[in-house]
Every structure is written in structure tokens, then in C-alpha cells.
Structure 1
């Protein structure tokens, strides 16, 4: 086992769905908003907004908005091979999603890396995102395999400043 570090983490989950179908759930505005985000907008290098079913490409920029979270995340698509790998800038770091065929499943391997190692980043990015991605990967599996969403989209969970750390389904 590799040593755990503050500047990166990896989360893995087996999902019973094809690589192509899972790739589109990560690589299109329609796909990523079906299980993860309230709103996702991707713009091409020349400023054109991508259509809901259009796949993202390297060089695109994005704006993401979650249910129960007022802030928007903005970043860049650093890699999107159209098949099984996506990498984006995210929250002062980078996130990659790799899809691999394993037995009768697709293994989703999410890594967040190049995380700053100051105390604020250790808490908010390493701890916060690590917990967050664990939930969102479980949500993706529940959505794909059982047709249900685990995240809260109707009740406002933002009643206090610790909501993002206390609720498991933000």
C-alpha cells in the first residue's frame, strides 16, 4: 500500500455499466447533472456553450453549481480523451476520472491531486473533497444501477455553516 498523503487521494468503485455509458455521465452537461450537479455549463475555447448531450473536450472551461451549495466552481478541462479518461482543474487542485473494465463491471477511479498542503487545504480540499467524492461515487452507483438519487434536492440543508461537514447527502 502506498503511503497516504495530504496532496492527493484516490477513490474507487465498481459499477455495473459500460465504460461508454459512464463516460457520458461525466463528459456531458446532461450526464453530469443527472446524478451530480444542479447545473453544469461548458464553454469551448472559442466561447461557444456546449449542448446538453455534447461531450466536453480538452481546453473547455466549466461552471458547476450544486444543489444545497451556493458557490459555483469554475475550472478547465485539462484532458478528455472521448473514451475513458477526464482530467479537470478543481478547487485549487486537479481531479481525474479513469474508467477501466474489471470483470463484468467498470471500475471508476477518481483521483484528486496537486492539493496544496496548508492547513486550510488539508481540511477543506483533502478532508472535505475526499468525503464528498465518496458520497458522489456512491450516488453515481445508486443512480446507474438502481435509478435513485441519494443527494438532497428539495430540502435546504444549509441552515448552519457546518452543514457541508455534517450532512452526508449535500
Structure 2
């Protein structure tokens, strides 16, 4: 059996250095993906990413970093980001995820879920970096699964961030 590889791609209209940094720095990544990260990504280091609304966390082993080009991690599966400058202010991001385990149907479902999840992450990244808007896509993806439910208001501050109270 050939094992599936999840793949999500998106053009982000920002310089490659800014797009790459958005995945390295948890202070930025938390604006469009997870709630918080324990540290910046560094090759050979382990960090933790938390999704407080779901009561979930993931240990993340950073395997490789090529500045403004590539990120490779292991977090139960093997995920790789590639960053390709299309112009001075355009970056094409490709994320692949592989190494799913289980019976054939489980592996297929994991790959589908990963493709969906990383597509949501890239859409959130695009909105945040291009327009300064936090869409809270990951938060809203599965509201029935929330274990911590802050009230979301439609109030936004000058940065475009939605307030959670």
C-alpha cells in the first residue's frame, strides 16, 4: 500500500522572511493557529504547541530549519513547510504531512484531516499577514469540542484582533 501524504498550499502576499517568521515565532503563529507555543522553533530542539480551547497540546521536535526556505518537524507525523519566493512580496507555502499510522482507512482519514487542518492554517495565515485580521478559524473549526469556551465578541482592536473575554 502506498501511504498518503497530506498537502496544502497557498500564495501569501508577503515577503518570504515574514511568512517564514510567522511559523518560527509562536507570538505570531498563535494569531492564526495554536493558542501558544513554548518557544521559537530551533533545529534540534523540542517545543510544545497548545490549543487551550480543545485542552490539547503536542510535543514538536524541530528536525531541520533552512531560513526562509524550509521547516521540518516531527509531531507524531512528519510535517514539512517549504517557502518559495514568487516575487519580493509574494511567497508560495507548501505544507506536507506524512507518516500516518494505523489501518488503511484510519491512515486515509488522518491524511484527509491533516490536509483540511493545514489548509485552514494557511487561510488563517493569509488573512493575518495580508490583512491583519484574526479569523479564529482553528477555534471555530470544532466548537462542539471546546473544553475552554471564552466568549468571543465581534469587537476588534486596531490590530484586527478579536477579543476573547
Q: TM-score, normalised by structure 2?
A: 0.75
CA contact (8 A) 1:16 1:106 kept: yes
State the alpha-carbon separation in 2 of the partners of residues 17 and 159 from structure 1. 33
Relative to structure 1, the CA distance from residue 7 to residue 116 in structure 2 (aligned partners, 3 Å threshold; closer, same or farther) is farther
Q: How do 1:34-113 residues align onto structure 2 when only pairs under 5 Å count? A: 34-42=31-39, 55-90=40-75, 92-103=76-87, 105-113=90-98
State the 1:159 CA deviation: 5.0
- Please say if 1:18 is aligned against 2:15: yes
CA contact (8 A) 1:6 1:126 kept: no
Structure whose residues are more often strand by fraction: 2
State the alpha-carbon separation in 1 of the partners of residues 41 and 118 from structure 2. 21
- Please say if 1:157 is aligned against 2:143: yes
Deviations 1:2-46 (A, max 9, x none): xxx64312211001100101111001121211221111013xxxx
State the 1:149 CA deviation: 1.7
The match for 1:145 is 130
State the alpha-carbon separation in 1 of the partners of residues 122 and 61 from structure 2. 21
CA contact (8 A) 2:54 2:145 kept: no
CA contact (8 A) 1:95 1:113 kept: yes
State the alpha-carbon separation in 2 of the partners of residues 56 and 72 from structure 1. 16
- Where in structure 2 are there 5+ consecutive unaligned residues? 147-165
State the 1:134 CA deviation: 1.0
Deviations 1:60-95 (A, max 9, x none): 1011112532111112001112222101012x2111
State the alpha-carbon separation in 2 of the partners of residues 158 and 85 from structure 1. 34
State the alpha-carbon separation in 2 of the partners of residues 35 and 131 from structure 1. 15
The match for 1:120 is 106
- The secondary structure found in structure 2 opposite 1:35 is coil
- The secondary structure found in structure 2 opposite 1:36 is coil
